[in-house]
Structure 1
Amino acid sequence: MSKETKQIEKTVIDSNPVFAKDNYKIMIAGLVITVIGFLLMMGGYTDDPNHFKPEEVYSFRRITVAPTVIVLGLLVEIYAIMRKPKKA
């Protein structure tokens, strides 16, 4: 075998994807959950900068629910990265 043929064979062998298709699906789900958490955290806008509404800024949704959803999304991402693909 020539040196060029060995190079081509090595390239073909090394072309396996890093993650399986299921892992990518779980990663996308984790990303969507994280984005939902950030969307839940949005709001509290006012036209008057001198008027502050603490009930909007410090609501249960923004202080408790949104960070919990974001952490849940990050945990889903960690699971997707660490999960071993099933053998076909």
Structure 2
Amino acid sequence: MGEKKRKEQAQNQSFIFERENYKFMLIGAAFIALGFILMAGGGSDDPNVFNPDIYSWRRIRLAPALILIGFGFEVYAILLNPNKEK
């Protein structure tokens, strides 16, 4: 009888989120990864030489904005309830 109960529980298990939630999570993760990739670099090989590229618009404005947008997608994906009737 114990084995039958375990089989029924295994069949009744489901994912916490639906397919739409995971789609938005992947979109958010892509935005976050792109933001960190754009933020990378800009250093100097010689510590005595200043490289002004570290303060470029891409690293100071664009990359953090993409990361925040990605986090917004992640929060939306977690809170999204696709089973809710419209």
TM-score of the two chains, using structure 2 as the length reference? 0.83
TM-score of the two chains, using structure 1 as the length reference? 0.81
Return the alpha-carbon distance in structure 1 between the equivalents of residues 75 and 28 of structure 2. Answer: 9
Q: Does 1:37 align with 2:57?
A: no
- Residue matched to 2:10: 11
Structure 1: gaps (5+ residues): none
Return the alpha-carbon distance in structure 1 between the equivalents of residues 5 and 37 of structure 2. Answer: 51
Paired residue type of 1:27: M
Paired residue type of 1:17: F
| 1:4, distance to aligned residue in structure 2 (A) | 3.4
Paired residue type of 2:38: L
Return the alpha-carbon distance in structure 2 between the equivalents of residues 46 and 3 of structure 1. Answer: 65
Total equivalences in the alignment:
84
Show the 5 A alignment for 1:1-88. Answer: 2-13=1-12, 15-53=13-51, 55-86=52-83
Q: Deviations over 1:23-52 (max 9, x none)?
A: 111111110000111111112132222101
Return the alpha-carbon distance in structure 2 between the equivalents of residues 3 and 36 of structure 1. Answer: 49
Structure 2: gaps (5+ residues): none
User: RMSD in angstroms over aligned alpha carbons?
Assistant: 1.7
